[in-house]
Structure 1
Amino acid sequence: QGTIFLDEIGELPLDLQSKLLHVLQEGDFERIGSSKTIKVDVRVIAATNRNLEVQIRKKHFRKDLYYRLNVYPITIAPLHDRISDIPLLVEHFVKQFNRKLNSNIKKIPLKTIKQLQKYSWPGNIRELENIIERAIITSSGTSLSVEPLLKPDFEEENRMLPLAEYERRYIIKVLEKTFWRVDGPEGAARILDMHPETLRSRMRKLEIKRPGA
């Protein structure tokens, strides 16, 4: 008994969706390699940043599972529609990464908050989290600064670089757009038109790692 939270339910492969549907309908499952049926009685909370109705039309998500999960939907507006939440979120992430990175960011200037509130946040709260983590990593003092991370430097973007560096930067941009998802129909490998293992090999060679990994 208890509650289970399923994050990014829209990313679940179709074959696993059918198994999850069985668990929700029948209230039982079997462990891999076992024939013993285990009964469960749990409350399920699922979250996604995708429009599941669109995913159903694309045949990427099961309609029956959608209606099974969609008992009491709660819609949370994207971050760019609730910029008043940004100060509290920034404070939370600063505390979180101060502990994780053993940093000492004490001040969050009003200028920084205003810059964050003007940004469009296509990657939503996860992008904000990544920005704050990178800002703390690159900070040399006790005051949080995000400007270099939100506005590309013109000279840096246009100076001549080795081909491998251009490739590295482009792969990182694609990975950030896909929330660092490599596999799947909307993963970075599909966008880059390469096999997922090929992309992982390039990431290792170019020393590309997900922030915080």
Structure 2
Amino acid sequence: MFDFANSGYTTVVITAVFNAYFVAVVAGGQPWGTLAWTSAIALSYALVILSAPLLGAYADALACKKRLLLVSALGCILFTAGLALAGPDTLVVALIFIVLSNFCFGTGENLIAAFLPELARREALGRVSGWGWGFGYIGGLVSLGACLAYVTWAQAQGQSAEQFVPACMLITAALFAIACTPTFLFLRERS
């Protein structure tokens, strides 16, 4: 269920909605807007790369992968909701929230992948991983569909992107929170 839950973040925030909003509205359509966006994404992934070995060793030593996964999920959810504050003249806030939300997303990806050997036999790892990715695509489409339904309604009401994109960030965060709950209720960690 975690792949289903977190894929809405990448679909709505990174790929389809917020990235365009960031460049057009937050950066005011300036030519450097795309550079600022890609630099923030690159920084977030650099932080994931640098911290992953340390977090992995810590999680293994203390058998706390699930706890760290919860922290990363909550971080991604909260910072995604924080993106609802992004608008004109909020460049620094938006950059901070996108770096932090994507860092939490990437960290969560590493942590959930570490559970795969506990969830499947060696010969079934590829199949279980593939099913997870498949459910992730479905989750991303559900989040995107919910946001696009809201955008369609909001545009019919005469709302602008400055009004409906922040709501899409809240929708995405809420769907992530709801859909990841079963992971934390049912996933067991080997000690």
User: What TM-score, normalized by structure 2, do the two folds share?
Assistant: 0.30
Q: Which is strand-richer, 1 or 2?
A: 1
- Work out which structure has the larger RCO, using CA pairs closer than 8 Å and 6 or more positions apart in sequence: 2
Superposition TM-score, scaled by structure 1 size = 0.27
Whichever of the two has the greater Rg, that structure is 1
